[in-house]
Amino acid sequence: MKAGPSQDVTRLLAQWTEGDAQALEDLLPLVYDELRRLARGYLYRERSDHTLQSTALVHEAYLRLVDQNVSWQNRAHFFGIAAEMMRRILVDYARGRNAAKRGDGICRVTLDEEIMGAGQRDVDVLALDEALTRLAKLDPQQSRIVELRFFAGLSIEDTSAILKISPATIKRDWAMAKAWLFREMSA
């Protein structure tokens, strides 16, 4: 029986972790489209005149990923870390832009209506990052769930597998984190 794409990615990640350079080369074609989908999702939420392209975001994130010293667990773990890298890149980009412009043209991201509620979708990416940092201090697990569900687009099941907690706990913490972020971002 032939392994599916998810198992192929997990196998290649394990081989890469063990030092197999060829595994890294074989991995890129299997993850590239999904990384581009993540990047497009991030950039779709950004302001319309954003100058960073999805290809550049993917390449920057991939370069950062290959420099990580991580024992990759599986495909979902890889994409969770990739989403975190993309978030950091966009936050760094927003900070650089804001510093250069002295606050002119604040970098905006469109936040999921589930978090913000209908009618209020544009959010300052730096304010969102600060809110997630505050949430991480209060409840690191909820913050990580937001990163994996919202930013990486992972399912309840994939998030459960990465964090090694039950799907019911993921659902409960996801609902609580969304409510907390809605309150923080509405203030």
Task: List, as one string, the DSSP characters of 54-90.
Answer: HHHHHHHHHHHHHT-------HHHHHHHHHHHHHHHH
Q: Is residue 99 in some structural domain?
A: yes
Q: How many domains does the chain have?
A: 1
Q: Is residue 131 in some structural domain?
A: yes
Q: Is residue 34 in some structural domain?
A: yes
Instruction: For 2-33, write each residue's pLDDT tens digit.
Output: 456 677 888 999 898 888 889 988 998 888 88
- In 3D space, the residue among 69, 68, 101, 80 whose CA is nearest the CA of residue 31 turns out to be 80
Q: pLDDT-based confidence at 166, cuts 50/70/90?
A: very high
Percentage of the residues of the chain whose pLDDT score is greater than 70: 79
Query: Considering the entire predicted model, what is its pTM?
Result: 0.64
Between 70-84, 105-119, 122-136, 138-152, the lowest mean confidence (pLDDT) is in 105-119
- In 3D space, the residue among 119, 96, 121, 118 whose CA is nearest the CA of residue 108 turns out to be 121
Torsion of CA 74, 76, 79, 81, to 10 degrees: -70
What does the pLDDT read at residue 111?
A: 46
Q: Is residue 110 in some structural domain?
A: yes
Q: Is residue 1 in some structural domain?
A: no
Mean pLDDT along residues 79-88: 86
Q: Is residue 121 in some structural domain?
A: yes
Range of the domain at 137: 8-16+23-186
Instruction: For 87-115, write each residue's pLDDT tens digit.
Output: 888 888 878 877 665 445 454 544 444 44
What does the pLDDT read at residue 57?
A: 85
Q: Is residue 81 in some structural domain?
A: yes
What does the pLDDT read at residue 4?
A: 60
3-class SS string, 34-64: HHHHHHHHHHHCECCCCCCCHHHHHHHHHHH
Q: Beta strands 122-124 and 108-110: pairing type?
A: antiparallel
Q: Is residue 180 in some structural domain?
A: yes
